Amino acid sequence: MTNDLVLTSLRARPILDSRGFPTVEVAATTDDGALLRAASPAGASTGAHEAVELRDGGPAFSGKGVEGAVRSVESPLAELLVGPVWSELEDADAAMAELDSTRGYANLGANAVVAVSMVLARGFAHAAGSELWEWFAARTGSTPLLPVPHFNVLNGGAHAANDLDLQEFMIAPVGARDEAEAVAMGAEAHHALGALVRERYGTAGLGDEGGFAPALSEPREALDLLMEAIGRAGLVPGREEMAIAVDPAANGFHRGGGIYRVAGRDLDREELVDVYRQLLRDYPIRSLEDGFAEDDLEGWRVQSRELGGRVQLVGDDLYVTDPVRIRDGSARGLSDAVLIKPNQIGTVSQTLAAIRTAREASMACMISHRSGETWDDFIADLAVGTGVDQIKAGAPARGERVAKYNRLAGIALAHPELPYGLS
Ligand code: 2PG
Ligand code: MG
């Protein structure tokens, strides 16, 4: 890339995320007068191997303050980045990594570093006179594509107060004609589900990602509700139409030693795979994420042997968007897909490297939000520009979730030539 970036200022402040906890927002100005912003998301069901957020501790906000991370941006990172001519995002990201000197950005805080890296990417796109997604496409040599949204409409696990052990039940309009229709299908099914949940369970509470969180405990109850809601919305449940995706987030119910507690029963690996096998038989599930815990490689091997090829097996906490872990998982045959979250690994350059690594290993990718989100729609552009054909950003409701879907629909409206759907 030939378009250089010069920052004239880099500031940060704490803002509230969608759960009401502080997160880091950064603002940068460029030498030609542009003002660019970015904000860091935050997970709840975080993987043990993720990059490290800097949190203040102490009584305020249950220890989740980000004053330290804000200081990281205002002082060492601003001193590093403001002034010099940057010609590559990789160089700026590498300079931040060197300054931090730990593997997971424990000194500066990954919540500071990722927001800065995101604003730098916006700066480079601005310098190139491109939309962010166009810059990603040029930067990575990818064919841009409008991804299939995976709407998380029923919440459990660490994201909800109910007894549902499995964390996310998503609907994916793979059969939509275009992105606008996909978003509309998701929204209609979500409304139908809301009505159903209110009828059957009284008031419908919400989980962290905007999905409903009725008092369910059995995975089948959740899937039956989804099937009925899809039908009520006048849509056809099916792997080629309105498909279902599940993120059990199995770290959350792994009791250790390969024993998993689901709906009050302790299951060994074979029994858990059997539960999944029966769900795949009875429901149009196209994707299963973190079916086993991050460090239970034996569980992943059993799952891959028994279910591989019948459903997309996605590694999230297993890989934490780390190219090294992705390569290792691919060599061991643990899964055929990777969840991509920039704040798990810390910088945008490393995120692009993770996507490249997955592709080299013929693994699919799904771009993902976090359960704690902000106004920032960065991941929509990331998905379109890198040509990753799947994205999950929560329910088609709540401002921080629809920010991403509305950005996708906006890109689609302005660029009707971009294809929609699974590649
Ligand atoms: C997940 C994510 C996002 P969290 O497990 O996939 O849905 O949850 O951000 O809480 O890690
Ligand atoms: Mg997950």
Which of 370, 400, 404, when mutated, tests ligand 1's pocket best, judged by the most ligand atoms within 8 Å of its CB? 370
Q: Is 371 in the pocket of ligand 1 (CB under 6 A)?
A: yes
Give percent helix, percent strand, percent coil of the chain, each to the nearest 5: 40, 20, 35
Residue 321 has pLDDT above 80, yes or no: yes
Atom of ligand 1 minimally distant from the CA of 289: 6
State the virtual CA torsion across 340, 342, 345, 347 in degrees, nearest 10. Answer: 140
Tell me which residues are annotated as active site: 209, 341
Q: What is the rounded average pLDDT of the residues 59-82?
A: 98
Classify strands 148-155 and 85-86 as parallel, antiparallel or unpaired: unpaired
In angstroms, the CA 293 to CA 316 distance is: 10
Q: Which amino acid is at 144?
A: P
**Using a 6 Å cutoff on CB, does residue 43 contact ligand 1?**
yes
DSSP state of 354: H
Q: Residue 203's pLDDT is what?
A: 75
Type of residue numbered 150 = H
Query: pLDDT tens for residues 208-244?
Result: 999 999 999 999 999 999 999 999 999 999 999 999 9
Secondary structure (DSSP) of 242-293: EEEEEE--GGGGEEETTEEEETTEEE-HHHHHHHHHHHHHHS-EEEEE--S-
What integer is the mean pLDDT of 358-372? 98
Say how many CA atoms lie within 13 Å of 51 toward its Cβ: 30
Report the distance separating Cα 102 and Cα 51, nearest Å. Answer: 10
Specify the pLDDT at position 71: 98
Is any atom of ligand 1 closer than 6 Å to the C-beta of 251?
no
The response to whether residue 249 sits with its C-beta less than 6 Å from ligand 1 reads yes
Count of H helices and E strands in the chain? 14, 15
Tell me how far the alpha carbon of residue 340 lies from the centroid of ligand 2, in angstroms. Answer: 10
Q: What is the mean pLDDT of residues 357-367?
A: 98
Q: Decide: 177 and 234 in contact? Cβ < 8 Å.
A: no
Of all ligands present, the nearest one to the C-alpha of 209 is 1
**Torsion angles phi and psi, residue 287, rounded to 5:** -145, 135
Dist. CA 45 → ligand 1 center (Å): 6
Query: Could you give the CA distance from residue 17 to residue 228 in angstroms, rounded to a whole number?
Result: 33
| CA 132 – CA 378 distance, rounded (Å) | 8
Which of 53, 288, 294, 368, when mutated, tests ligand 1's pocket best, judged by the most ligand atoms within 8 Å of its CB?
368
Ligand 1, closest atom to CA 168?
Answer: 7
Confidence of residue 204 (pLDDT cuts 50, 70, 90): confident
Would the CB of 370 count as within 6 Å of ligand 1? yes
Token pair recorded at residue 282: 């009875």
Predicted pLDDT at 2: 60
Contact 24/376 with Cβ under 8 angstroms? no
Can you tell me which residue has the tokens 């970015």?
Answer: 38
pLDDT for residue 22 is more than 60? yes
- The reported pLDDT for the residue numbered 185 is 98
In terms of residues, how long is the chain? Answer: 423
Q: Residue 216's closest CA among 165, 255, 274, 168?
A: 165
Predicted structure pTM score: 0.98
Our mutation pick for probing the ligand 1 site, out of 45, 53, 317, counting the most ligand atoms within 8 A of Cβ, is 45
Model confidence over 143-173: pLDDT tens digits?
A: 999 999 999 999 999 999 999 999 999 999 9
Ligand 1 atom 4, closest CA: 43
Q: In the chain, what percentage of residues exceed pLDDT 70?
A: 100
